Structures are given as C-alpha cells and as structure tokens.
Amino acid sequence: MSFSVHNRKTGSRFDVEGDETILDAGLKHSIVFPYSCRGGTCGTCKARLVSGEVGYAHPPQALSPEELAGGSVLLCQAVPSGDVEIEATELAASAEIQIKIMPCRVAAMEQLAHDVMVLHLKLPASQAFRYLAGQYIDILMRDGRRRSFSMASRPQAGQDLELHVRHVPEGAFSSRVFDSMKVKDLMRFQGPFGTFFLREDSDRPAILMAGGTGLAPIKALLDQAFADDNHRQFHLFWGVRARRDLYLHELLETWAAEHENFRYTPVLSEPAADDDWRGESGFVHEVVLKHVDDLSAHEVYACGPPVMIDAAKAQFPAHGLAPDRLFYDSFEFAVDD
C-alpha cells in the first residue's frame, strides 16, 4: 500500500510505502526535513499536518496534547493512513548524501576521561562514505539494537571516523566499549543521519554550546570551518561537571590560540575542591547568556544532554534568538523496540 505526501510549503511530493514514516520516505527520495533523534523525543522534526491522517508506532513524546490537537505532526514517527498534505521546512544541504549500511573496524581506542572513550573506526577502502560535519551514525548491534553517535571528525577521504563515547552505566553499547571492545573488532553502522551541520548560507556569529560528549559533532563542525577558511565568528561554550571531564581542553585552547575567529569558554557545573578552578562555573546555558545577553544577531548550535537543549529552547528566544536559528542534537537515550 502506498500513499502520497505533498509538502505545501515547497511543492514537493513523494510516496510513502507500507509503514514507513514520512521522514524515512522523504530521505529515500532525497527530501530532507530538519531532524535529529528519530526516536520521537527531541521535537526537531515537528511540522504541520494540513490534511489527511497519520498514525504513530510509538507515542509522539515531543508533541503535547495541545500540539497534537492543533495539527502538529512529528515526521520521524508519523505513518500516513492515506494521502496527506503537510507544511514543513526542507533542507537542500544534505539531499545528495546517501544513507548506507557500512562495515568498519576499530582502528584505535583512547580513553580520554574516566567516562569517555574515543574510538577511531576504519572504513573499507573500496566504499566511499560521504557525510557532513556534525552528522551522526547508528551503530548496529548484533542483537538488532541501534545506538546513535556523532562523528567528531570532519569528512576526509580515506580517514578514520572518530566517535566520543560516554560510558552510560548499564549501557548496552558503551559498556561493551569500556569492558570488552578491542582494536580490530568489527562492527556495522548505518548513516549518516541528522541535520546538525553548519548552515553555510549565513555569516552570523555562531554560538556553539556543548554538554559533555556533545562536543563531538561541534569539534567536527569547527574542524571543517577551519579547513574551509571560514571567517565567521565562533564562540564555543563547553559545559562539563569538573576539570577532569574537559577531555579535549588542550586541543580547544590550541585552536583558540591559532584562530582569531574562535573563542573557547569552558564551564564547570561542579568543580572539584582540588580543581582550583578560576574559570566559568554553573549551567552552561546561563554562562552563554551572561556573555551574550542579546542573541538576536546570532545562530546557536547546541549539542548534548536533553536537559541542556530544553533549557536553550525555553530561554534563548526571550533573549532575541529566532527559533529557526537554534540548531541542536539532543543526546536522547536510545528507545529499544
């Protein structure tokens, strides 16, 4: 059974087969809506249902009952039950990127903090893997579960992919990484996914806000900007708990010294007594607002724990940030089927 989706905002039309979601069917046809977690929780793919009906495989957690009743739709979960018309933003930048399943081999592992492992994944030389700096992949576990991790490296032919994996207590994948994974292990992943990448059509100063391993895609995005000789102003605020969690502090300080257009502000929420910390402390989103009270001229790229993203969504618009200039990947926990 197939139904048609018509996007009234752009005029594009495509078919949805069986129980495909609108987001997945769009991606198959190179039509990319802004999206992030694909689990129904982050809300990036909210759009408007103009006509027709959709069903949901899982409850669309990111939609309030009022939003549902008012005609909002969550494209990553919505499965049409007939022809539908929607009103949704589309992105051109990643339309050429193909989502693939790829094998890879663990080339190196480096534990940079008590709970952060950096993985370097080697891809087969015979298969090209294209992505945009900032996107993520899903590791496909042997038992069928999937786990999302952002690429911390910018795309470069023949180079390994770099992932920053935080150890989640009892975490199915991250515990394997910390307890039993070895160099040369084989894995499979699917990707690239997501629309957390630098909007190239803007030269607004960019505030980059990372929480913990939310640094990973922001590192890729910055590395790409430096390689492209992009002269936009970038100010990174990196929030972690204590000094020992700043696992790439020296690299970021070096970048700040080398690039005139890059500033770096580390923020500790709970500095340890022996940290002797004289830098910023508190919640990272509050420190952003302390430095830049008026966000009306800025874009914000935020990545990390859902609570940090929710704080940015709730508070930054009151400081002048247009909602369509807040780009984020919320590091939601995986939802297993």
What residues from 203 to 262 belong to the interface with ligand FAD (CB under 6 A)? 213, 216
By CB under 6 A, what part of segment 185-204 binds ligand FAD? 194
> The tokens of 109 are what?
């592992």
| Out of 164, 219, 235, 313, the residue judged to bind ligand FAD by CB under 6 A | 164
Residues sharing a CB contact under 8 Å with residue 127, sequence separation 6 or more, in sequence order? 100, 102
133 is written with which tokens? 């700096």
Site string for ligand FAD, 34-73 (x = CB under 6 A): --xx------------------------------------
Interface residue with ligand FAD among 46, 154, 166, 325 (CB under 6 A) is 166
CA atoms of 191 and 163, how far apart (whole Å): 13
Considering only 77-85, 91-99, 171-179, 250-258, which stretch makes contact with ligand FAD by CB under 6 A?
Answer: 171-179
User: Residue 25 phi/psi, 5° resolution?
Assistant: -65, -40
- 138 sits near ligand FAD (criterion: CB under 6 A): no
Assess 171 for contact with ligand FAD (CB under 6 A): yes
CA angle 30, 206, 163 (to 5 degrees): 60
Neighbour-count burial of 296, counting CB atoms closer than 10 A to its CB (0-12 exposed, 13-18 middle, 19+ buried): exposed
Q: Judged by CB under 6 A, how many residues of this single chain contact ligand FAD? A: 24
The verdict on whether omega for the bond into residue 192 sits within 30 degrees of 0, i.e. cis, is: yes
DSSP, collapsed to helix, strand or coil, labels residue 105 as strand
Bridge partners (DSSP) listed for residue 312: none
Q: Considering beta carbons, is residue 3 or 328 the nearer one to ligand FAD?
A: 328
Find the part of the chain contacting ligand FAD (CB under 6 A) among 118-126, 153-161, 167-175, 309-317. Answer: 167-175
Does position 165 bind ligand FAD by CB under 6 A? yes
CA pair distance 255, 326, nearest whole angstrom: 24
Candidates 150, 153, 224, 265; binder of ligand FAD (CB under 6 A) is 150
C-beta of 165 vs 206, nearer to ligand FAD: 165
- Rounded to the nearest whole angstrom, what is the least distance from the CB of residue 151 to ligand FAD in the complex? 8
Cα–Cα distance for residue pair 204/287, rounded to 1 Å: 20
Shortest Å, Cβ 317 to ligand FAD: 22
> What does the CA dihedral 239, 242, 248, 251 come to, rounded to 10 degrees?
90
Binding site for ligand FAD (CB under 6 A): 36-37, 136, 147-150, 164-166, 168, 170-174, 194, 213, 216, 329, 331-334
